[in-house]
Amino acid sequence: MSQYNPFETAQAQFDKVAEMLNLAVATRKLLRNTAREFHFNIPVAMDNGEVDVFRGFRVLHNDARGPGKGGIRFHPQETIDTVRALAMWMTWKCAVVDIPLGGGKGGVICDPHNLSPREQERLCRGWVRQMAKHVGPLSDVPAPDVMTSAQHMLWMLDEYETIHGAKYPGFITGKPIGMGGSLGRTEATGYGVVFVIREALKDMDIRPEDTTASVQGFGNVAQYAIQLYTQMGGKVIAVSCWDQPDSKAYTYKKNEGVNLDELLPITDHFGSINKDKARELGYEQLPAEAWIEQDVDILIPAALENEINQESIQKVKPRVKIIAEGANGPTTIEADEIIQKQGIFMIPDFLANAGGVTCSYFEQVQSNMNYYWEKDDVLGRLDNKMTSAFIAVYDLAKKKKLYMRDAAYVIAIDRVASACKNRGWV
Ligand code: GLU
């Protein structure tokens, strides 16, 4: 990926706010590290008759406020430090939106583009076989993330229930609709990003229909963020995405606005747009980094970590007013300092993209009751949660003259530190 280590970024962000909050040494020690980690081999019978062995991880950062919660990523460049950082960010994410869950994350080093559906199924079942004793509805609850889908979740659930000999629909979230999934879960992360953008624009007295945006990534988060933002009247002029056969990314630009209806039919399950077809549809094909140098009001990084760094930040145009982090950890510490100095309004990852886990929490509640809500009900509750979390963070930022990321951290760390203290851990 790059020379940046996301776990060091997550720890540096924590240390800064731990200092501001004057946290006790033991609390800092507890929270700047993960509670436990699993590293394991997953042997998979491949379609060609051979066995391949994949490396899997599950990290629990903290469960003082409730069971661990967080996705499982499939990625060829997955590392334990990335998973550690993502687990830590999940703890803050659940705390900032005030849902009773802790932070965890999992991963497998693999490229699912190169695995058949059967091989992917065996990999999912293999992951669960290794972790079945250590995850569960009351201990640690997985979900989808980069390159994992509702189908992967269902295979994992099926394996878990087979091992334990009973139905545990609350074991995992992001399940398919009709199989324990919640209506609105697929849309939730992307929509949540747009709910908080809407609130930020309201405060700036800018109408969404007078704004433009550029988006990095074209997976689940990006697609639904574009959908809702466009419905609100905004115009996305560029999206970037990974191209599989070329093994590199491109930005696709259309000044009149990218059109989801024409792009989705030419996009694969993993969010790669077919570049030849995109060109036929009149999209200009630009280098990967071009998404960040667009003359727009809003930037939405919704791909991977460390994409806004010391080099790429130099390309951001003065017109940019808001950066809403759909991805986890897209901004490095150095770039974040520049953004803060330039006065760009930052909506930090663990607030901006908390819609996914908030809806996962709703899904668990529904699964445990075995009673499913209407879509409008789910999305209405999601909007309330995201909006009130945004307002709480923004109010604190204004009151204490804090950078938005720091204000979000103050709220989240304070909640988690109090839970640890009240339990008598520190
Ligand atoms: N993977 C998503 C995230 O990073 C969702 C996690 C969940 O639903 O548990 O927030």
Considering its fold, how many domains does the chain have in total?
2
Q: Which domain holds residue 134?
A: 37-168
Q: What is the mean pLDDT of residues 295-317?
A: 96
Q: Is the pLDDT of residue 1 over 60?
A: no
Q: Which two tokens stand for residue 221?
A: 């988060």
Do 212 and 345 belong together in one domain? Answer: yes
Check pocket membership of 70 for ligand 1, CB cut-off 6 A.
Answer: yes
Check pocket membership of 356 for ligand 1, CB cut-off 6 A.
Answer: yes
Q: Is the pLDDT of residue 116 over 50?
A: yes
What does the pLDDT read at residue 192?
98
* Percent with pLDDT over 70 in the chain: 99
Burial class (CB in 10 A: 0-12, 13-18, 19+), 288: middle
- Are 31 and 18 a contacting pair, CB within 8 Å? yes
Evaluate whether residue 285 is within a structural domain.
yes
Check pocket membership of 71 for ligand 1, CB cut-off 6 A.
Answer: yes
Which segments of 322-374 does DSSP mark as H helices, in order? 333-342, 349-352, 355-369
Do 130 and 224 belong together in one domain? Answer: no
Query: How sure is the predictor about 244, in pLDDT bands with cuts at 50, 70 and 90?
Result: confident
Q: Is the pLDDT of residue 278 over 90?
A: yes
Evaluate whether residue 28 is within a structural domain.
no
- Between the CA of 145 and the centroid of ligand 1 the distance, in Å, is 6
Terminal C-alpha separation, the chain? 36
Q: Which amino acid makes up residue 370?
A: N
Do 204 and 341 belong together in one domain? Answer: yes
Model confidence pLDDT, tens digit, residues 169-181: 999 999 999 999 9
In the set 105, 175, 254, 385, the catalytic residue is 105
Rounded-to-integer distance, Cα 324 and Cα 307, Å: 13
pTM score, whole prediction: 0.96
Q: Is the pLDDT of residue 4 over 90?
A: no
Check pocket membership of 102 for ligand 1, CB cut-off 6 A.
Answer: no
- Between the CA of 143 and the centroid of ligand 1 the distance, in Å, is 6
Rounded-to-integer distance, Cα 160 and Cα 166, Å: 9
Q: Which two tokens stand for residue 181?
A: 């999934």
Rounded-to-integer distance, Cα 404 and Cα 426, Å: 28
Least confident of 85-94, 131-140, 239-248, 335-344: 239-248
Q: Is the pLDDT of residue 317 over 50?
A: yes
Query: What's 297's DSSP letter?
Result: S
Q: What is the mean pLDDT of residues 117-145?
A: 97
Do 90 and 208 belong together in one domain? Answer: no
Evaluate whether residue 395 is within a structural domain.
no
175 catalytically annotated: no
